[in-house]
Amino acid sequence: MKNKFDPRHLKRIANVQALFAWSCGNNLPQTEDTKEIIKVVPEIDQIITENAPKWPLDKINKIDLNVLRYALWELFYLKKNPEKVVIDEVIEIAKEYGTESSSSFVNGVIGSALKKHEPTT
């Protein structure tokens, strides 16, 4: 079980929440990370589209979509933390904030993306 008060976990949640607000057209203050993530959202969305071909972006639950955007940014762009740590963390966030099927959907898309696009470390 993750420590819900771990600063890294809280930072990930804040990033997902800021991305969610941004995706809903809300111009709430963004985090330092979300400013960087938003710059590459078109690239990240292409990765999601390739790895969830049965789910057009506009049909993906907004929480799931933004958890995926955050996860893929951390895995493919930030590249500071081990894959397993990032995946475990975002699965926990998907379970906490998403639907009953969110964690398995997020896990499947990330797994597929990692097989196709190995991040360089």
Q: What is the CATH classification number for the domain harbouring 39?
A: 1.10.940.10
Degrees, nearest 5: CA angle 79-19-85 = 35
- 1 part of a folded domain: no
Domain tally for the chain? 1
- 121 part of a folded domain: no
7-38, pLDDT tens digit by residue?
999 999 999 999 999 999 887 778 889 999 99
pTM of the model: 0.91
Note whether 45 and 69 are within 8 A (CB): yes
SS (H, E, C) 50-106: HHCCCCCHHHCCHHHHHHHHHHHHHHHHHCCCCHHHHHHHHHHHHHHHCCCCHHHHH
- 2 part of a folded domain: no
- 27 part of a folded domain: yes
56-71, pLDDT tens digit by residue?
999 999 999 999 999 9
pLDDT at 55 > cutoff 70: yes
- Of the candidates 44, 93, 34, 65, the residue with the CA atom closest to the CA atom of residue 85: 93
**DSSP annotation of 4:** T
| 82: containing domain | 7-116
- 12 part of a folded domain: yes
